[in-house]
Amino acid sequence: MREAYHDQLDSIFDDLAGICRRVETAVSLATHALMNGDAAVAERVISGDVEIDVAREQVEETAFDLLTLQQPVATDLRTIVAALRMVSELERMGDLSVHVAKVARLRVPDVAVPDEIRPTIERMAAVAEDMVGRVCEVIISRDVEAAIALGRDDEEMDGLRRRSFAELLSDDWTHGVEAAVDVALLGRYYERIADHAVSIANRVIFVVTGHHPAALAEQ
């Protein structure tokens, strides 16, 4: 009985990693649609979000069953509660990918990102996708050091966000309000994807160590 219980507990993290891989794909495809004005790929991201939602529901069902039937304590309880938070954040990352895809679809046959700011948005997208990929590995390995490093690397995304605003507010901006709103929203979407990745990594740290990352940094 206890062996089956621990198998279920481990399966939650396997399922979280599977959802994370779906999110990683969604971020990549949404960026492709955005940078290439590809409506078909944008539709794939938008329609595929249902799979992430269904997978989230399955994780929640497993977690609630364990809470109800096994009444876990200490480390096991920490794992289940963290998993419930993590799956919610993964779903939100999928939703943000959909938002990027919808911006791309809205501007077809044009591309939503003007050439002048394209390098900044491309880099934001690359950083976001890299962070999602790395947090997938953190979920699988529960590597505390890798999780801590992910949090530190979020600083690049913050710098890119500031750069995008500087470009939007520059006197050289000639693309009008509509394009400025698109770029501001896109920057926010990619930044939030990165923020959620850091938050998930922090929850893994808490599951493994029982301490919040801030407390570890002070040690």
pLDDT in tens, 28-84: 999 999 999 999 999 999 999 999 999 999 999 999 888 887 777 778 888 899 999
Q: The domain spanning residue 85 has which CATH number?
A: 1.20.58.220
Which has the closest alpha carbon to 43: 122, 96, 104?
104
Q: The pTM is what?
A: 0.92
Instruction: Let me know if residue 219 belongs to a domain.
Output: no
Peptide bond into 114 cis (omega under 30): no
The DSSP secondary-structure symbol of 61 reads: H
Instruction: Let me know if residue 11 belongs to a domain.
Output: yes
Could you list the residue range(s) of the whole structural domain that residue 80 is in? 2-214
Helix, strand, coil shares of the chain as percentages rounded to 5?
A: 90, 0, 10
State how many domains the chain has: 1
